[in-house]
Amino acid sequence: MSSDKLYGIIVAGVGGQGAITLAQLFLGAAWRSRLHTMQSEVHGMSQRGGSVNAQISISKAEVTAPLLLSGAVDLLISMEPLEALRYVPFLSKNATIITSTEPTINMDNYPDINLILGALREIPGTILVDTAEHAKKLANKNAGNMVLLGVASNYTPIDKTIWHTIIEERFASKGEKVVVKNIEAFDIGKKIIAPSS
């Protein structure tokens, strides 16, 4: 995000996975960085285990539109690989995709996961994150989202200390331990960089 151009992010997932929480962290971090920002989310029926997305706009100039221009979105963060594929048509040619490889199978016709991951690998600018593996290593079953956020933070003009503050504020009510664990997961994500393409 170099020019004055609006930077658009979509956070995708399945209802209940925490896509909106993650989007709110982006919003908070952008605001703290004195950037203009806005974020739209879905509530209601669609949260009940369906496909959900939240959109975030970040800009050096004022932002007024809640929705992003389809085909011009710069960054996709998906908590679920099938959902990642669903939002590819919203992305710009050079967009980055950061997605978990862990499927949420709450439907009868879920395609073969290898087909999904194969399709994702073929799309340039895709970073597959084995969130299940990270969660296991960190002994923190909720680590996945924070790892994804850490990876994504490399594509935003937001300082690491601001990210840490935002995570701290968000999870403070859940106790010191949760905060530390989340920051740990975030930092691991931050070290993951795109495979050279």
Partner 1 sequence: MSKNAKNESLLLGDEAVGFAAIDAGLTGIFGYPGTPSTEVFEAVEAEFKKNGVANRVARWAANEKVGYEFALGCSYIGKRSMVTMKHVGLNVAMDPFVNSAITGVNGGLVVVVADDPGMHSSQNEQDSRYLADFANLPCLEPSTPQEAYDFTTYAFELSEKLRLPVLLRLVTRLAHTRGVVARQEMKEPTDLGIPNSESRFNWVLIPSNARLQYQRLRDNFGQLLEAADDFNKFKKGDRRGVVVSGMGKANFDQLCKEEATISKFSKLEVMAYPLNDSLIDKMLESCDEIYIFEENYPYIEDKFIAKTRQTKIRGRRDGTLNIAGELDPGVLRQALKLSMPEKKKGPTIDLPARPPRMCDGCGHIDAYNAMKEAFNIIGVSDPRVFGDIGCYTLGAQPPFEGIDTCVEMGASLGMALGAAMSGQVPSVGVIGDSTFFHSGLPTLISLVESKVNANFVIMDNRITAMTGQQEVVATDIIPQLAQAAGLLPEQVHILTPLPKKHEENVKKLVEIFKNNRPDLIIFKRDCIQAMRKGLYAKINEEKKAGGHGHE
Interacting residues toward partner 1 by CB under 8 A:
5-6, 14-15, 24, 27-28, 31, 37-51, 61-72, 82-83, 85-86, 88-89, 91-95, 106-107, 109-111, 115-116, 119-120, 123, 125, 169
d(CA 186, CA 179): 10
Residue with smaller CB distance to partner 1, 111 or 136: 111
Residue 95: CB atoms within 10 A of its CB come to 23
d(CA 134, CA 147): 8
Residue with smaller CB distance to partner 1, 64 or 139: 64
Radius of gyration of the chain (CA): 16
CA 73 centroid distance within chain:
13
Shortest separation between residue 53's beta carbon and partner 1, angstroms: 11
d(CA 183, CA 166): 10
Residue with smaller CB distance to partner 1, 5 or 191: 5
Residue with smaller CB distance to partner 1, 60 or 190: 60
Q: What does residue 126 show for φ and ψ, rounded to 5 degrees?
A: -105, 130
- For 57, 60, 95, 103, the CA distances from 8, given in Å and listed in that order, are 5, 12, 10, 25
Q: Determine contact, residues 127/97, Cβ cutoff 8 Å.
A: yes
Residue 62: CB atoms within 10 A of its CB come to 7
Shortest separation between residue 64's beta carbon and partner 1, angstroms: 4
Residue with smaller CB distance to partner 1, 11 or 188: 11
Shortest separation between residue 70's beta carbon and partner 1, angstroms: 5
Residue with smaller CB distance to partner 1, 9 or 85: 85
Shortest separation between residue 13's beta carbon and partner 1, angstroms: 10
Shortest separation between residue 49's beta carbon and partner 1, angstroms: 5
Shortest separation between residue 110's beta carbon and partner 1, angstroms: 7
